[in-house]
Structure 1
Amino acid sequence: MSNSIKKLYDEWSIQGFVLFSLSLQIILILFTPFRKRTGNVMVISLIWVAYLLADWAAIFALGLISRRQKYTQKFDDHADILVFWAPFLLLHLGGPDTVTAFALEDNALWLRHLVGLLSQVVTSTIIFGQSLPSNKLWVHTLLLFVAGTIKYGERTYALFQANLNTFRKSMLQAPEPGLNYAELMEEFERRKFYNIPQAGRRVPKSNFIPLDVDSTAVQVRLAYHFFKMFKGLIVDHIFNIHERRDSRDFFGRRSAEVVLNVVAVELNFLYTVLYTKAVVIRSIFGYFARFISSCAVVAALSTFYSIDKHGFGKIDVEITYTLLFGAIALDTIALFMMAFSDWTVALASTLQLSRNKRWRVINIYFLHLKKINWGEDIESMSCLGRARRILFRRWHESLDTYNFIDYSLQERSKKNLTPLNYFFGRILIYVSEKLGLKDFYDRMKYVSKKPLTKKLWVFIFDELKKYSDFARNPENARRIRSTRGYRVLQNISGIIGIESSKFEDYIAHVDCDESLMLWHIATDLCYHTHTINESDEDTSNRREFCKILSDYMLYLLVMQPTMMSGVAGIGQRTFRDTLADAKRFFNEKVDLGQEQDQEHKQACTRILEVNTVVKPAKVKGNRSKSVLFDACILAKELGKLEGQKRWKIMSEVWVELLSYAASHCKANAHVAQLSKGGELITFVWLLMAHLGIGDHFQYFGFERAEISSE
């Protein structure tokens, strides 16, 4: 049996791996665009596996061909066709246009890919050289060799261009010595001597041309304009005052919907630059190289079709046609994706495509397919609606949420389990923790998605616009960036008649991660124990906003710690200690066997029933970082407020916490998340930069006075 399996492997291993390599390329070009449209862990994991296997399969198949040639002294038609397959594997190593890097860190490995390019080209050259002069397919092989080398070179150069060091250098502009100071001072002295009035410093006007932003095509072109202006954010580039002014003028005067569309397209441009071949193929050299490689594949197909195939195995011929048509199909799909991409729309005026009425109508149709769904219920969608949502959206358009009390209730020890079930349950948890899979399991089981509704985005946008109006000078802009809730309390305490000092201890005097945990639990307690007047739409909306943002921010803190590294502190320690405290309390106070909603409500009620006259720190000391009953005290203080005041404070505190986390998250963490569906916090980060909030701008001498007089 083993001999027959070995014989089967020796005879068909090359054919199998070559076809396997082609299959992986088809999977990658069709499915890698989905990773920017979904946050589903399983989908992204499957794409990751295909990405890793693609290079391995191609290199392994190339090694099998080299090995077969080494141990086969006789060169026949079968050997010639195996040599012909070698450059196909170079094509596959070049990968599809839709993915060059799976993660941002892959771009730093461009030098390794360059070495791989050289080694695989040398290997293919040796294989090809050893088959001469008797190789009947040397012309076809040479054509494919040219195409494969170009494709592999495209990928390597794309990785080099997307490497952050290279990206940072590309942002450097030509040296600007400024005005001739010596000549200006001579002119100043001359005017002063002859009592001639000094010439005023002319402030350059904005060169930004307002456009009809209701058009989706115009929004894409505007997004491209701001992408070119602000792409340096990912390498901490400092922008000048004129760029700040142009950006604030546009984003501060547009509707929330238009702004979200522009920011979504802008982030899509960032994604394509960092993770695809967009920069390489969208250049004069790129178009020329792609034309040469595609023509070489078509020429190889034509010449192979025309030759006498007598002597070639039937299966080998069929596999060769499959590889040739597969290569052409991959190029065709890539061309189609490129023609109807945001890049082509943005460059339409330059390419003179916007004058073509038929192209314009088709492109407007495709842009319409990419429109934001605004929380439309998936269950009520038609099949076409669901397909549009999955195939054409630019990001996953939802928020991942994670609730502390739900998690605590589900993870506590189940007293009603049989000893055997309890034992195996503990074993499963222990093994998953040791293998590092507990977080993956928790994410699959406890994280849920909430759609981004238009009302929620409008609310966030309106709050950020208020920050922008306050941040007219650099000092205020930096102050906005550093606040995380207490500015809300200071601003509204006099208006609605509350003592802000009662709440500042839970914001100003604790770390950000601890503050986030406190307000998350307090929000949940208030949400489930305080009813509101349903006729008050604003209060009802703010209550829902609080719940969604609270669960979303906890998800970021626990499940996306890299995105919260700037604010997390000892967030994991705080979470674990609070979780242990909550599970112990719920085991004693909350009944088992209830429906989840009832169990959750009972848990909130039981927490609020605890006597909290003495602060927990005075009783428990400083060993534990649990904030469970501190949050209970905060919830009780908030519960004393009238409903409208309560939810107004809490909703604005949550936006401030969100903006603080967004501005303190590292830029590379934001762009790294673009390959996993994107996050709302990244949209907030980019929008804050466009509204002039933060320290991304540099102010010089006279320009400081200009910004103060806006």
Structure 2
Amino acid sequence: MALLSENFPTPTLHLQTPPSNDQTFDLIPPHVKELWERWNTRGLILFSLSLQTFLILCAPLRKRTSRKFPIFLIWSAYLLADWTASFIVGLISSNQSKSDANVYLLAFWAPFLLIHLGGPDTITAFALEDNALWLRHLIGLLFQVVATVYVFIQTIPQNKLRVPAILMFLAGIIKYAERTRALYLASLGSFRASMLKEPDPGPDYAKLMEEFTCKKDAHLPTTIQLVNEPNQEWSPFTSTAKAGDLNQLEVVQYAFLYFNKFKGLIVDLIFSFKERNESRDFFLKRTPSDALKVIEVELNFIYEVLFTKVVVIHNIFGSIFRFISSCSVTVALVLFSRLDKTDFRKLDVRITYALLVGALALDFVSFSMTVFSDWTIATLIKDDSILATFFEYLLWLKRKRVSVHKKSPFSGLKKLDTPRIFRRWRESVSQFNLIAYCLSERIPTDDSRNTSVCCGCSFAWNKTVRLLRRIKDFVIDYLGAKEFFDDWKYVSRQPVFEKLWDLIFEEMLEKSKAAETVEITEEICSSRGSYVLKSMDLPSEIDIGELISDIDEVAFDESLMLWHIATELCYRDEQNTNTNVNDTGTSYREFSKVLSDYMLYLLVMLPSMMSAVAGIGEIRFRDTCAEAKKFFDRRRFSCTLDETIIMKGCREILAVNVTDANPVEVKGDKSKSVLFNGSLLAKKLKKYNEKWEIMSKVWIEMLGYAASHCRPDQHAQQVSKGGELITVVWLLMAHFGLGEQFQISEGHARAKLRVHK
């Protein structure tokens, strides 16, 4: 054993020692860390200032466009502005342990973040739901103030910037408090409470009956005599409403007047018939153009009240606090400029100047926007004042403008074409077409009887196309981006044509003239196509009852899709006919197509607006699309989309025999598809020469029905997304007295006790 151990020494285990800390691999290179340490606070605070500049200039654009991309940019900036400011406060606080003189300068930056958290005047809320979170912003204000004070206290007493910092701290608190109060006032609960009048117990009934009983017990011949109490409310329309055209100043002033009278529409308040008659009398004397101008400005007032600081600023206290805030920033800039800054880095001094000058510049922009706003013009400028001429010119620049449309099929028609920077809403209507959607959205399928497939492709290529389409659909659905994808690919936009608005206005005008009693008004507001059919002077050979059955005997969403399919089939059947768009019949045809695609867009792409009347619209739309796709697949239609393919597809649907057997009787009611029911309606309408006039007026009545039955808060929501034609129609109907919100028919009765001799 000893020999063995001498010849074969015992092996030893050599363990590798771990590397020292100096040899540890860093995932982030040191120079990147150093760059972040040097620029994190500086870069982010400049980024925060840039976000404030972007928001104050670009936020008003969201009331002028419905495009997803610019709205997404504004939404991103709105969220990043709050996050960035809060994050920077934490960075500044973590850097207070350093002994560098620049710590005092960083502490001076903290109050600027309160100003940034207060946000610009042009946007306080991105959506109505943000207003309901005003309490969260109030608590956030308290925490941010505490954090800022903590950062500031750490630098006392050596900090020679303490006086400018206190001034900026005061300005920051004012700005943040303005935003919190604006959110509180714009929350629907507070908004409703602010318009409620004092509780009205009415005449003292108990006292009257006690006196009556006493006199009866005394055997006095007493009766109760009722006398209507005179209405003491003052109104500028007690005599007659202004006749003739309105100038630009009058448009804003009347819009502000009716905004104050009817802003309760947003929160479902009720109105008296006196208010109805005053508004109705005024709008009955307006031209379609003047009525649209007034409504556009009125919607702009609604936007400003709900989504900006306008209510907080336009009062005496708001003006005083805004003056204090601006003076604080100005004095802080003067004090900082006179301060000895040799101990500070030049870069940090320049950034501080940028923050101070930026704060003053943003205040100046806000002040300019406030002075030249419609709100100021409506409340301060009088017709006989010296400034009236200047503001009349300013409003002339912002006036509604029209131009001649050059693209077919509407070439020659006048359209709303106000420059985007002056628009008060987007002045366009979105279009979504069921047949075009189904033709393009299909996934090619195999045909076991033939290896050829749609698009004329080989079988192998068809399988590849199907696979790619399914992967694309899965990714889009998984990311929740189908709404954005469909909006980008399938939604087009048409301008609002002056003649289309005239047609809508005249229809509502005639209904308003007919609505003399409560019963007739209720009938008009509850009709979705039948009232106008009954009131039209149509030839006797037209079976009105047959058409009304496709309106009143089905749900509204089913009726809408039936008439949409019928309109599309009839339109494509006449697509190649050479007609002049200025002819009345052709105008009816083109406007029927525009309104048809717009109403389907509301049903499919904006279901929240149609939720009160949509029913099972989504299920019905999906089932109809499934049947249409199956129909087009069997006929091997191309998946590429163009006008020729759409026209061919519509004519193929029309060629199917639907007259011998009702589609519902053959298919049953499990599937909610209405594709061939719509084809049946189209065949009925094709027999009539007046079909386009019928369809256009039915679509206008459907639009009015949807407008008056949409939830008011959804109308208010849309004014921050470019506005919708349906919201303009909703406000027009309210001013014409067409709605269910007018429920106070008379005032109190004044009771008197009369003792007979």
TM-score (norm. length: structure 1): 0.92
Out of 651, 674, 689, the residue aligned to residue 605 of structure 1 is: 651
Distance across 2 between alignment mates of 1:662 and 1:149: 42
Per the alignment, residue 373 of structure 1 pairs with: 401
**Letter of the structure 1 residue corresponding to residue 605 of structure 2:** M
Residue 576 of structure 1 is matched in structure 2 by 622
Q: CA deviation at 1:621?
A: 1.1
Match of 2:79 in 1: 52
- What secondary structure is seen at the aligned counterpart in 2 of 1:655? helix
Larger displacement relative to structure 2 (13-22 or 367-376): 367-376
Residue in 1 that maps onto 2:740: 695
On the 8 A contact 2:529/2:699 being kept in 1, the answer is yes
Aligned runs of 1:533-572 on 2, under 5 Å? Answer: 534=580, 537-572=583-618
1:254 aligns with 2:286: yes
**Which residue is equivalent to 1:615?**
662
Give the equivalent residue in structure 1 for 2:46: 19
Q: Aligned residue for 1:633? A: 680
- Kindly indicate which of the two structures has a greater share of residues assigned to helix: 1
Deviations 1:544-572 (A, max 9, x none): 11010000000000000000001111111
Cα distance, 1:344 vs. partner? 1.0
Match for residue 691 of structure 2 among 622, 634, 646? 646
In 1: Cα distance, 2:482 partner to 2:590 partner: 30
Measure the CA separation in 2 of the matches of 1:674 and 1:567.
Answer: 21
CA distance change for structure 1 residues 5 and 648 in 2, over 3 Å: closer, same or farther? same
Residues 1:659 and 2:704 are matched in the alignment: yes
Distance (whole Å) between structure 2 residues aligned to residue 378 and residue 14 of structure 1: 53
1:241–1:703 contact (8 Å) kept in structure 2: no
Q: Is the 8 A contact 1:493 1:499 kept in 2?
A: no
SS at match of 1:450: strand
- 318, 328, 345: which one pairs with 2:360? 328
In 2: Cα distance, 1:541 partner to 1:555 partner = 21
Corresponding residue for residue 589 of structure 1: 635
CA contact 2:440–2:641 (8 Å) conserved in 1: no
Measure how far apart 1:532 and its partner are: 7.8
CA distance in 1, matches of 2:657, 2:132: 56
Given that residues 288 and 502 in structure 2 are in contact (C-alpha distance below 8 angstroms), is that contact kept between their aligned partners in structure 1? yes
Cα distance, 1:535 vs structure 2: 8.5
Cα deviation, residue 360, structure 1:
3.3
Q: Report if the CA contact (8 A) 2:63-2:424 is conserved.
A: yes
Native 8 Å contact 2:416 2:498 kept in 1: no
Question: 1:361: Cα distance to partner?
Answer: 3.8
Q: Does 1:167 align with 2:191?
A: yes
Deviation for aligned residue 1:593: 8.0
Contact persistence 2:439–2:641 (CA under 8 A): no
Counterpart CA distance in 1 for 2:40 and 2:582 is 70
* Equivalent residues in 2 for 1:406-555, closer than 5 Å: 406-414=436-444, 415-416=454-455, 418=461, 419-492=463-536, 497-530=541-574, 531=577, 534=580, 537-555=583-601
Task: Report whether the alignment pairs 1:34 with 2:61.
Answer: yes
1:275–1:609 distance in 2 versus 1, CA, 3 Å? same
Q: Secondary structure at the match of 1:233?
A: helix
Aligned to 1:8: 35
What residue identity is the alignment partner of 2:669?
N
User: 2: CA distance between counterparts of 1:206 and 1:63?
Assistant: 56
Q: Which stretch of the first structure deviates more once superposed, 427-436 or 139-148?
A: 427-436
User: What are the superposed Cα offsets for residues 386-430 of structure 1, whole Å, 9 maximum, x if unpaired?
Assistant: 996121110000001111111111112353352434322220112
Taking the aligned partners of 1:48 and 1:203, their CA distance within structure 2 comes to 48
After superposing the two structures, state which structure 1 stretch, 440-449 or 404-413, moved more: 404-413
The residue type paired with residue 518 of structure 2 is P
* TM superposition shift of 1:251: 1.0
Equivalent AA in structure 2 for residue 422 of structure 1: R
Query: What amino acid is the match of 2:742?
Result: F
State the 1:7 CA deviation: 1.7
Post-superposition Cα deviations, 1:355-388, rounded to whole Å, max 9, x if no partner, equal: 22xx4344223322322234654999xxxx9996
**Structure 1 equivalent of residue 449 of structure 2:** none
* 1:672 maps onto 2:717 in alignment: yes
Point out the structure with max Rg over C-alpha: 2
- Which secondary structure state, in structure 1, belongs to the residue aligned with residue 744 of structure 2? coil
Cα distance, 1:310–1:533 mapped onto 2, change above 3 Å: closer
Assess if the C-alpha contact under 8 Å between 2:251 and 2:290 holds in 1: yes
1:125-176 CA distance string (max 9 Å, x none): 1111111000010011001000000000000000000011111110111234
Q: Quick one: which amino acid aligns to residue 61 of structure 1? A: I
1:292 maps to 2:337? no
Select between 647-656 and 93-102 the one with higher mean Cα deviation. 647-656
* In 2, Cα distance between equivalents of 1:614 and 1:442: 35
1:154 matched residue in structure 2: 178
Long gaps (5+) in structure 1: 705-710
* TM-score, L = length of structure 2: 0.86
Q: Distance in 2 between matches of 1:499 and 1:226?
A: 42
Helix, strand or coil for the counterpart of 1:99? coil
Q: Secondary structure at the match of 2:430?
A: strand
Q: Which structure 2 segments of 5+ residues have no match?
A: 1-27, 409-414, 445-453, 750-757
How many Å apart are 1:478 and its aligned residue? 1.7
Amino acid at match of 2:726: I
SS in 2 for 1:698: strand
Secondary structure of 1:579's aligned partner? helix
Q: Is the 8 A contact 2:400 2:417 kept in 1?
A: no
SS for the counterpart of 2:429 is: strand
Distance in 2 (alpha carbons) for counterparts of 1:278 and 1:129: 35
**Aligned equivalent of 2:423, options 393, 398, 408:** 393
- CA contact under 8 A between 1:375 and 1:454: conserved in structure 2? no
Contact 1:529 1:605 in 2 (8 A): yes
C-alpha distance in structure 1 between counterparts of 2:708 and 2:578, whole Å: 33
Q: 2:257 aligns with which of 217, 220, 225?
A: 225
The answer to whether the 8 A contact 1:24-1:50 is kept is yes
Residue 95 of structure 2: aligned partner: 68
Residues in 1 aligned to 2:748 and 2:532: alpha-carbon distance in whole angstroms: 30
Higher mean alpha-carbon deviation, 620-629 vs 404-413, is at 404-413
Return 449-458 or 590-599, whichever deviates more: 590-599
Secondary structure of residue in 2 paired with 1:400: strand
For these two proteins, the number of residue pairs brought into alignment is: 689
